[in-house]
């Protein structure tokens, strides 16, 4: 479907007989769009559901949607997740989550602040300020937990972490936990060492 066959958010709201403000709010809660730099920005989730940008001489750049846009209610959320909450759900410490998000190019460290990049905002980042110490940090729309790049990076990170903590002496590993061919090879090597 080309962007010519799509409707602006306001036109889509009119088609659905709801107020444009309500549809903008709903799309924000679903993580399809986010408010950034004084304008609505299409997120990766919104793009997956068919959202796109159109340039107009009269209206400038705006987001358009398929006329049959699906609103995935499982994504609806008014609450954003901190790095600690992401870490709890993904099984990593908050510091490791922030480092991982930084490696993905979604965050940048500036002194003691974490700043969302444009890529991060598209992935679901929302900048925040800590009122007590004025540090900047980032919270995330829960849809980020479905992001394939993040899930793959977490799996790779956990795999690398497991490799670092594996025992160096394979004889410490239980033969029951190894495939039969490896366990058999280890038994032969052990008997050869004993015969020396």
pLDDT tens digit string along 5-50? 899 999 999 999 999 999 999 999 999 999 998 999 999 999 999 9
For every one of its 196 residues, what pLDDT tens digit does the chain have, with 9 covering 90 and above?
556 689 999 999 999 999 999 999 999 999 999 999 899 999 999 999 999 999 999 989 999 999 999 999 999 988 999 999 999 999 999 999 999 999 999 999 999 899 999 999 999 999 999 888 889 999 999 999 999 999 999 999 888 766 665 555 444 444 444 445 444 444 444 444 444 3
d(CA 59, CA 9) in angstroms, rounded, equals 13
Number of Cβ within a 10 Å radius of residue 135: 13
Q: Among candidates 113, 196, 103, which has minimal Cα distance to 154?
A: 103
Closest alpha carbon to 146 in 36, 48, 25: 48
Question: CA 64 to CA 51: how far, in whole Å?
Answer: 6
The pLDDT score that the predictor gives to residue 186 is: 46
């Amino acid at each position: 479907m080309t962007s010519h066959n799509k409707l602006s958010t306001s036109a889509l709201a009119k088609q659905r007989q709801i107020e444009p403000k309500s549809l903008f709010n709903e799309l924000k809660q679903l993580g399809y769009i986010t408010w950034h730099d004084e304008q609505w920005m299409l997120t990766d989730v919104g793009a997956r559901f068919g959202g796109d940008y159109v340039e107009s001489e009269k209206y400038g750049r705006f987001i358009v949607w398929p006329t049959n846009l699906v609103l995935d209610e499982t994504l609806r959320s008014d609450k954003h997740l901190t790095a600690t909450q992401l870490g709890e759900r993904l099984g990593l410490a908050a510091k490791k989550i922030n480092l991982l998000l930084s490696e993905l190019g979604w965050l940048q460290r500036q002194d003691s602040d974490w700043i969302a990049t444009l890529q991060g905002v598209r992935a679901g980042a929302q900048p925040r300020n800590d009122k007590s110490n004025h540090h900047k940090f980032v919270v995330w729309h829960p849809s980020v937990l479905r992001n394939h790049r993040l899930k793959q990076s977490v799996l790779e990170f956990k795999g690398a972490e497991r490799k670092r903590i594996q025992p160096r002496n394979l004889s410490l590993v239980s033969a029951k936990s190894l495939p039969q061919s490896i366990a058999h090879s280890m038994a032969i090597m052990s008997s050869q060492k004993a015969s020396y």
